[in-house]
Amino acid sequence: MVQQSGPYISSNGLETLGLKNLAHVHWNYTSAQLVEEAMKRGEAQLAKGGALVADTGVHTGRSPNDKFIAEDPSVKDTIDWGTVNRGMSTENFEKIHARMLKHLEGKEVFVQDCFAGADLDHRLPVRVICEQAWHNMFARNMFIQPEAADLKDFAPGFTVIQCPSFEADPATEGTRSETVIAVSYEKKLVLIGGTSYAGEIKKSIFSVLNYTLPGKGILPMHCSANIGPEGDVAIFFGLSGTGKTTLSADASRTLIGDDEHGWGPNGVFNFEGGCYAKVIKLSPEAEPEIYATTQKFGTILENVVMDEGTRELDLDDGSKTENTRASYPLEFIPNASDTGRGGHPKNIIMLTADAFGVLPPISKLTPEQAMYHFLSGYTAKVAGTEKGVKEPQATFSTCFGAAFMPRHPTVYGKLLAELMEKHGANCWLVNTGWSGGAYGVGHRMKISHTRAMVNAALDGTLAKAEFTTDPNFGVQVPTSCPNVPDEVLQPKSTWDDKAAYDAAAADVAARFEKNFAQFEEHVEPKVKDAAIRSAA
């Protein structure tokens, strides 16, 4: 008989998954218990201040090329198959599943039962089964904790098995490497093997919700969200590194969440119960709320350098990776929402880190331009953040989260357009990237300026400003904003070499136009017209 322990052991055991002959099942351990187990097993260390510091090995980020969707008959015709959504035969999924179950025999596992989705009408019960205690603590941080009454007879709607020591066999199982992240919608199961990067756990369930929720009229969003003093909700779309977490963690507003949300009939709701913030070069002056979480017991720090003697953290050290991360409960942020829910958004902020330095720092979008920029999902990588990146590279990630969108992008784009029209939301494009020149010549936009612009947009001040039309992108640019120099608002005025600006802006506009060609046959003429004006 399998030995089991934990404060809440579910009556719905693991037998239905085929897990058997396990050495021990640790059910729903608390964070304190999981810290103890992680340290006892040598999985992680405790830093000064109390955070748990873990290394993820060779995988310091997601492995998008190792992600697969089982070609189950019930979903085969509704997935947008391609380089993002790679198919895996149901036979190969079964092979991997069977071998992973066999691999776990005789081992101890840690189980967390939790929910994804703060909207009680649409939440997904999720069971996360891990080899290591710190990964199970990550799941506990990132998902929503059920009430005690919900745990006794918890019935998972989806299960994640996370097994870093398991290696897939590319020769016989159809994978690209020994690493695999595979989902079966018919089995309601995610298999993660060959990687210790904890973010795969949360992003796999995000992808599941991105598939299931649109059918219910709910838009899943890669965004942060907060609520103002008057109850006004704002959402912040953006790819990693564009400022979603930083800008939404505003002490004057209530934080709903920092990364993944749904927008449906009841308003906006968080998918998660925690935050997963980048912490490289984190500043206590510029980002005090997030910085404070790195000094707390209950936070997990991934790949952060620590002095072995003093246990002092060095958040500026990117020698392991630029993608250092902190996972912490949402309650660690002051003024965080205790429900994870809000009303319908009044303002939508689309964030981009333009390393070419040509997009205005803030501009107002028409509804058609909003759909255009949502489908485009533009940002730019800078030199040094990825192997082989020597100069700024334009990146277009549909819906600001293409890696997690199983359906065709226009499914999400049309939902956004419908919800914006129905609820009268304003939309703003905010460039948190470079000013005065491209990366290497100009400088990163000051956080204080970006915050001032966002605050002016959210409190209604900016809507009353005078606007000019940007000649390259067709967006409306304010001529003034409180606490921001006027010249900062007009990107060309910050460049010493005006001809170089014109050439760079024309180049980026052409990239927009080329990228959007893939969507033109799927959108209404008025959106095509917006695209032409934006790329003119």
Which contiguous run of DSSP H or E holds residue 171?
Answer: helix 170-173
244 is in an annotated binding site: yes
Task: Please identify which of the residues 240, 293, 321, 363 carries the catalytic annotation.
Answer: 240
Closest CA to 434 of 500, 340, 349, 510: 500
Alpha helices in 54-114 (DSSP H): 90-104
62 is in an annotated binding site: yes
Neighbours of 366 (CB within 10 A): 17
- Give just the sign of the alpha carbon dihedral 309, 315, 320, 323: positive
414 is in an annotated binding site: no
Q: How far apart are CA 22 and CA 9, in angstroms?
A: 15
Task: Please identify which of the residues 59, 86, 325, 381 carries the catalytic annotation.
Answer: 325
Q: How far apart are CA 360 and CA 351, in angstroms?
A: 11
222 is catalytic: yes
444 is in an annotated binding site: no
Contact 198, 135 (CB under 8 A): yes
259 is catalytic: yes
242 is in an annotated binding site: yes
Closest CA to 263 of 415, 404, 158: 415
127 is in an annotated binding site: no
199 is in an annotated binding site: no
Strands 274-278 and 260-264: unpaired
Neighbours of 515 (CB within 10 A): 19
AA identity, residue 347: N
In which residue are the tokens 């085969």 written?
Answer: 76
The residues that bridge with 225 in the sheet, in sequence order, are 235, 257
Q: Up-side HSE of residue 448: CA atoms within 13 Å toward CB?
A: 7
Alpha helices in 249-393 (DSSP H): 288-293, 367-376
Contact 12, 156 (CB under 8 A): yes
316 is catalytic: no
Contact 275, 258 (CB under 8 A): yes
Task: Please identify which of the residues 99, 222, 341, 449 carries the catalytic annotation.
Answer: 222
Q: How far apart are CA 357 and CA 440, in angstroms?
A: 10
Task: Please identify which of the residues 203, 341, 346, 414 carries the catalytic annotation.
Answer: 203
195 is in an annotated binding site: no
DSSP state of 64: G
Task: Please identify which of the residues 97, 127, 140, 244 carries the catalytic annotation.
Answer: 244
Task: Please identify which of the residues 196, 245, 321, 363 carries the catalytic annotation.
Answer: 245
259 is in an annotated binding site: yes
Contact 83, 110 (CB under 8 A): no
**End-to-end Cα spacing for the chain:** 70
Q: How far apart are CA 91 and CA 173, in angstroms?
A: 8
Task: Please identify which of the residues 26, 59, 62, 135 carries the catalytic annotation.
Answer: 62
244 is catalytic: yes
245 is catalytic: yes
246 is in an annotated binding site: yes
DSSP state of 346: E
408 is in an annotated binding site: no
278 is in an annotated binding site: no
In which residue are the tokens 């709701």 written?
Answer: 269
Which two three-digit tokens encode residue 492?
Answer: 């060309």
157 is in an annotated binding site: no
Contact 412, 332 (CB under 8 A): no
Q: How far apart are CA 219 and CA 217, in angstroms?
A: 7
388 is in an annotated binding site: no
62 is catalytic: yes
188 is catalytic: no
C-alpha dihedral (42, 43, 47, 50), degrees to nearest 10: -100
Contact 380, 394 (CB under 8 A): yes
240 is catalytic: yes
Contact 416, 370 (CB under 8 A): yes
Strands 393-396 and 378-381: antiparallel
245 is in an annotated binding site: yes
Residue ranges of the annotated binding site for ATP are: 203, 222, 238-246, 287, 325, 450
* Active-site residue list: 62, 203, 222, 240, 244-245, 259, 325
Binding-site members are 62, 197, 203, 222, 238-246, 259, 287, 325, 450
Going by the annotation, the residues of the binding site for Mn(2+) are: 203, 222, 259
Q: Could you tell me which residues are annotated as the binding site for substrate? A: 62, 197, 203, 325
